[in-house]
């Protein structure tokens, strides 16, 4: 079913909307949650919370892209769950990704609390827009969706070490770009 049809079902308050959303985007949402949380049960709970939140947001909101909207919702819920779990010192999850980004995100920003800061977000979007498509996709898959380096390497047919080196080079380019924009790192 097309996204426009699914959104119309939400606007009509039809429970079929949830069923269609789960069928079409369940694995997508689960993957994002699992990449961040690492624990299957927590990821499943996060996805269920996403369906509930989506039901409450449409209407009044009408997303332009249902997939992007869902990705943002599930990611936000998963990060909140991660923070709650991390406060309890249960496990690491997305910690590795934040550690990797700390070398190129300014030190006066707390990565976990301020990643969505508007100015930094604008700089990141500009920088990403200048990258070749494959590098942009890899960077987003790694640092937004939380895909493992091993998975990215397999996706493009290189070794895990080569992918790790490529990600390091991208982070260095980002660090230089931000420095040139006057962002203190």
Could you read off the pLDDT of 47-61 as tens digits, one per residue? 999 999 999 999 999
Tokens of 168: 């390091």
CATH number at residue 73: 1.10.1740
Strands (E), the chain: none
Binned at pLDDT 50, 70 and 90, residue 88 comes out as: low
Model confidence at 72: pLDDT above 70 = yes
16-55 per-position pLDDT tens digit: 999 999 999 999 999 999 999 989 999 999 999 999 999 9
Model confidence at 112: pLDDT above 80 = no
Is residue 56 domain-shared with residue 133, that is, in the same domain?
Answer: no
161 falls within a domain: yes
Is residue 100 domain-shared with residue 174, that is, in the same domain?
Answer: yes
Is residue 14 domain-shared with residue 46, that is, in the same domain?
Answer: yes
User: What's the CA gap between 82 and 42, in Å, rounded?
Assistant: 9
> What confidence score (pLDDT) does residue 23 get?
97
Instruction: Look at residues 87, 119, 146 and tell me which one is the last residue of a structural domain.
Output: 87
> What confidence score (pLDDT) does residue 120 get?
78
More confident residue, 99 or 155: 155
Q: What is the pTM of this model?
A: 0.67
113-164 per-position pLDDT tens digit: 444 357 777 888 899 999 999 999 999 999 888 889 999 999 999 999 999 9
Domain count of the fold of the chain: 2
Instruction: Look at residues 87, 120, 146 and tell me which one is the last residue of a structural domain.
Output: 87
Is residue 166 domain-shared with residue 115, that is, in the same domain?
Answer: yes
> What confidence score (pLDDT) does residue 46 get?
96
User: What's the CA gap between 79 and 112, in Å, rounded?
Assistant: 9
Is residue 101 domain-shared with residue 125, that is, in the same domain?
Answer: yes
CATH number at residue 138: 1.10.10.10
Is residue 99 domain-shared with residue 148, that is, in the same domain?
Answer: yes
Is residue 117 domain-shared with residue 70, that is, in the same domain?
Answer: no
User: What's the CA gap between 74 and 3, in Å, rounded?
Assistant: 17
Which residues are within 8 A (CB) of 75 and not within 5 positions of it... i.e. 6 or more apart? 32, 36, 144, 145
Instruction: Look at residues 71, 87, 103 and tell me which one is the last residue of a structural domain.
Output: 87
Binned at pLDDT 50, 70 and 90, residue 4 comes out as: very high
55 falls within a domain: yes
153 falls within a domain: yes
Decide: helix, strand or coil at residue 32: helix
Tokens of 49: 């919370």
Q: Can you give the residue range of the structural domain that contains 61?
A: 3-87
Is residue 83 domain-shared with residue 153, that is, in the same domain?
Answer: no
> What confidence score (pLDDT) does residue 61 get?
92
185 falls within a domain: no
> What confidence score (pLDDT) does residue 94 get?
64
More confident residue, 185 or 176: 176
């Amino acid at each position: 079913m097309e996204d426009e049809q699914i959104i119309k079902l939400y606007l009509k308050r039809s429970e079929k909307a949830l069923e269609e959303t789960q069928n079409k985007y369940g694995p997508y949402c689960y993957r994002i949650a699992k990449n961040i949380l690492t624990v299957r049960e927590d990821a499943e709970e996060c996805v269920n919370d996403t369906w509930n939140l989506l039901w409450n947001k449409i209407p009044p909101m009408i997303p332009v892209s249902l997939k992007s909207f869902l990705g943002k919702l599930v990611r936000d819920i998963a990060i909140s769950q991660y923070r709650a779990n991390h406060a309890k010192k249960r496990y690491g999850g997305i910690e590795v990704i934040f550690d990797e980004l700390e070398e190129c995100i300014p030190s006066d920003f707390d990565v976990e609390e301020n990643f969505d800061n508007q100015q930094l977000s604008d700089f990141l979007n500009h920088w990403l827009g200048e990258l070749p498509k494959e590098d942009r996709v890899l960077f987003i898959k790694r640092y937004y969706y939380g895909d493992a380096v091993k998975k990215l390497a397999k996706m493009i047919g290189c070794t895990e070490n080569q992918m790790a080196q490529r990600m390091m080079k991208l982070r260095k380019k980002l660090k230089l770009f931000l420095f040139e924009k006057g962002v203190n790192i």
